[in-house]
Structure 1
Amino acid sequence: MGKLEEKVLVLNRYWQVVNVSTVRRALCLLFVGSAQAVWVDKGNFQTFNFEEWVKFSLEHSDGEERIGTVKWKLLIPRIIILSHYDGFPSLSIKLTKKNVYKRDNYTCQYCGKRYPPEYLNIDHVIPRHRGGKTTWDNVVCSCIWCNLKKGGKTLEEAGMKLLKEPRPPFRLPFQKDDVIKEAHPSWKYFIDFTHWKVMVGEEDALI
């Protein structure tokens, strides 16, 4: 992959992550004035328009990667902030069997063992006949054996415990594993990579 295709984090004007683009696209946005480059130095942030970024690139010499143009060798912007866009993509995730499996890493939340999908199903922590709802914080991935053991009982009645409390998964505006692997260290100030990352699925409706 060439430097022009490396990934750049895109923020809206409120400094919220909205996308991941390429260096090529980021430089175009800088050039036409639709975005500014964000420079991160030990948790401090500076923004630069295109002309300022050119000057900063010429004056800066700490070994950061650069990309050559006809006139200059520019620092590669790792983060840009859009000048006018204040929108934010919808991050809601459809509650489906497949997405619950992904959230729980195909691991039974009772015995802790990982299984292929054919040996898994969905369990309501608080049984539906006890008033339990089909919501992210009341459904978990369960192997068929633990599901049979628990049946329609509560955790206390079945003498079982959860590996962790279920909760709605967090989703980034982008969900490609290769993008996450290519994340620049400076992105950590805007993204918590320890949160759940689940692909949106349209199949396997839970109810």
Structure 2
Amino acid sequence: MRAPVLVLNLNYVPVNVCTVRRAIVLVTKGKAELLEQHQGELHTVSRVVEAPSVIRLEYMVKRPFLPRKLSKKEVFLRDKFTCQYCGKKVHDLTLDHVIPRRQHGAHTWENVVTACSRCNLRKAGRTPAEAKMRLGTTPRAPDPNPYLILQNRVILDEWEIYIPWSVRK
């Protein structure tokens, strides 16, 4: 069975997605408890095992929350696909350096914002003050996301009660 299994920490926070085989080993060894199961069973030589869908570890796992990498996609997500100068949601979005690179502005979370092509051309290598433009919000690095393990994954129905609404697709 190739279905993924959601692994929860002792406090019910998702920490991983593993294979059914790994989940069965954890449950069998008493290191995890079965919370939800897939439809169907797995047959071993000596017994029948329920196919796990969600398991909870019997101990806490400390996972360092890695900072989000600065990329075009992540900046667009942070800014909710909205131009930070005019406030419009358009399809021709670009990245803009608040303090331009030619003025030694850094390529950091605090200096990069989403801008539509029109506003980016209007700003044209100047600071917002020089271009007489205002930023809608002050750019900052997003908080580390503990749910990145679920990014680009299909969220199974059985998982939804264990996942905050903001990460569901």
| TM tier relative to shorter chain | 0.5 to 0.7
Residue 67 of structure 1: how far off its partner (Å): 1.8
Residue number in structure 2 paired with 1:145: 118
Instruction: Determine whether 1:113 maps to 2:85.
Output: no
Residue number in structure 1 paired with 2:5: 8
Instruction: Determine whether 1:190 maps to 2:162.
Output: yes
Q: 1:66 aligns with which of 22, 40, 50?
A: 40
Residue number in structure 2 paired with 1:22: 19
Does the CA-based 8 Å contact 2:79-2:113 persist in structure 1? Answer: yes
Q: Deviations over 1:107-128 (max 9, x none)?
A: 644432123xxx722243xx68
Does the CA-based 8 Å contact 1:97-1:122 persist in structure 2? Answer: no
Residues 68/98 of structure 1: CA separation in 2 closer, same or farther (3 Å cut): closer
Residues 170/190 of structure 1: CA separation in 2 closer, same or farther (3 Å cut): farther
Structure 1: state its 5+ residue gaps: 40-56, 58-63, 198-207
Residue 13 of structure 1: how far off its partner (Å): 1.9
TM-score where L is the length of structure 2 = 0.67
What pairs up with 1:128-139 in 2 under 5 angstroms?
136=109, 139=112
Does the CA-based 8 Å contact 1:30-1:36 persist in structure 2? Answer: yes
For residues 168 and 96 of structure 2, the distance between their equivalents in structure 1, rounded to whole angstroms, comes to 18
2:41 partner SS: strand
Does the CA-based 8 Å contact 2:65-2:144 persist in structure 1? Answer: no
Q: Identity over the aligned pairs, expressed in percent?
A: 31
Residue 29 of structure 1: how far off its partner (Å): 1.0
Instruction: Determine whether 1:86 maps to 2:48.
Output: no
Residue 32 of structure 1: how far off its partner (Å): 1.5
Structure 2: state its 5+ residue gaps: none
Residues 187/165 of structure 1: CA separation in 2 closer, same or farther (3 Å cut): farther
TM-score where L is the length of structure 1 = 0.56
